[in-house]
Amino acid sequence: MASVEVKNLSRSFGNHKALDDVSVRFDDGGFYALLGPSGSGKTTLLRMIAGFEFPNAGRIEMDGESVERVPLEKRQIGMMFQNYALFPNMTVSDNIAFGLEVRRLPKSEIRDKVREALDLVKLGTYGERKPHQLSGGQRQRVALARAFVINPRVLLLDEPLGALDKALRVEMQVELKRIQREIGITTIFVTHDQEEALTMADRVGILREGRLVEEGEPETIYNRPRSLFAATFLGDANILPGTWSGEGLVMADGKVIRVSGSEDRTPGATMQCAVRPERMRLVEGDTASSDNVLTGTVIRRMFSGVSSTLHVETAGGEIRVVVPNAGDSRLRDGAPVTIAWSADSTFPVA
C-alpha cells in the first residue's frame, strides 16, 4: 500500500484547463472519493495518477517518491472502470488470473491468489463460470477481484457502480467498502453521486472546473461546507443572504438570524448563510427556546416516501423544510407554519 500525493497538478487540452493547480493527499489505506459535476476533471486526475496521462505541471508522489514520469506498468496500480471489460470466453478464475500470468507468477501461487480473491468477493464457487453466466453485480465483483489480485499499491475506481441499478448499487457499495477495509488498500474513487461518496469514503474532495474547491471528512464537509458550491452540490441547502450585525445575520426584512462561527466578521459586511432543510423543524406554540424562528405558508409539499419537503413562503423568501411523514394531513398548501432551527445549523458560506 502507499500514500499518494499530487502537488500543484495542472493539465490542459488545447486551451481548456481540465485540471488547474490541484493539490491533494490520499492517505495510505484511506478511501477517498472524488466528487464533482460532469467535466470537472475527476477522470483526468485519476488517469494521471494511473499513468495514462501526463501533467503539464506539478508532481505526483507515491510514498513520497515522484512518479509522474514513471510508466503505467511500473506504478503498481489496480484499476476498475464503469465499462470494465471481462474476457467473455475466459472463466471467472482465468479472468482474475490474467494479471498474475502477465507478471509470470508461479502457477501454484496464481491458483492460491485467485482462490483468495474469489473468497473475498464471495464468489468462491463461481470460478469455472463464464462472465455471461453471472449477474451484473457478480461481474462487478470479478472486475474488482481482478483489480486487487495483483496486490497493487493503490486502487483506482472510476464510477465502478455506475452501470448498476439502485438496489444492486447500494449492495455493492457495502461490499466494496468491506473489501477495501479488509485489504486496507489506498483507494481513490470517482463518482458524481453525492450520497455514494458520503456513504463510502472516509474523505471527500469536490472538483469544479478543474479545481479542488473543498475537501474533508464526509460529516464535516456535509454539515459545515465553507463554499456555496459545496453546500449546494452535496445536498439541498436554504441560502439566507443578509448583512452581519455583529450578533447575527440581518435579512432584507430586518429579521435577525443567529449564526455559528462568524465572530471575526466586520459589522455591516454582506454575507450568506446556509441551513440544510432537514435541520429545520416545524414548531407549534412556544418558540422561546429556539435560536431562529420564521413564520410562513406552505406553498408546495413534495412527498418522497419516508419524508416530505415542504416549500414554505416566508417574508425572507422561500424556505424548504424536510419533515418526517407522520401522515399529518394539516400540512397541505396554504397551511400556516412556524419553522425553527438552531444557530449551530446555520453556517456562513462564501
> Would you say 39 or 216 has its CB closer to ligand ATP?
39
In whole angstroms, give the CA distance from residue 305 to residue 294: 26
In whole angstroms, give the CA distance from residue 45 to residue 198: 20
> Would you say 129 or 192 has its CB closer to ligand ATP?
192
> Would you say 36 or 160 has its CB closer to ligand ATP?
36
Q: How, if at all, do strands 31-35 and 186-191 pair?
A: parallel
> Would you say 143 or 190 has its CB closer to ligand ATP?
190
Q: Which of 202, 136, 204 is nearest to 167 (CA)?
A: 136
User: Do 23 and 6 meet the contact criterion of CB atoms below 8 Å apart?
Assistant: yes
- Helix (H/G/I), strand (E/B), else coil: 211: strand
CB of 48 to ligand ATP, least distance (A): 10
Q: Which of 152, 172, 149 is nearest to 160 (CA)?
A: 172
CB of 169 to ligand ATP, least distance (A): 16
User: Do 343 and 313 meet the contact criterion of CB atoms below 8 Å apart?
Assistant: no
- Helix (H/G/I), strand (E/B), else coil: 228: helix
> Would you say 44 or 173 has its CB closer to ligand ATP?
44
In whole angstroms, give the CA distance from residue 278 to residue 272: 19
CB of 296 to ligand ATP, least distance (A): 37
CB of 74 to ligand ATP, least distance (A): 23
In whole angstroms, give the CA distance from residue 266 to residue 307: 39
CB of 218 to ligand ATP, least distance (A): 19
> Would you say 158 or 175 has its CB closer to ligand ATP?
158
In whole angstroms, give the CA distance from residue 277 to residue 304: 14
> Would you say 36 or 277 has its CB closer to ligand ATP?
36
CB of 45 to ligand ATP, least distance (A): 7
The C-alpha cell that represents 315 in the structure block: 417574508
> Would you say 18 or 349 has its CB closer to ligand ATP?
18
- Please count the other Cβ atoms lying within 10 Å of the Cβ belonging to residue 195: 12
Query: Which contiguous run of DSSP H or E holds residue 272?
Result: strand 270-275
Computed over its alpha carbons, how large is the radius of gyration of the chain? 25
CB of 66 to ligand ATP, least distance (A): 22
Interface positions with ligand ATP (CB under 6 A)? 13, 16, 18, 36, 38-44, 192
Q: How many residues does the chain have?
A: 350
CB of 47 to ligand ATP, least distance (A): 7
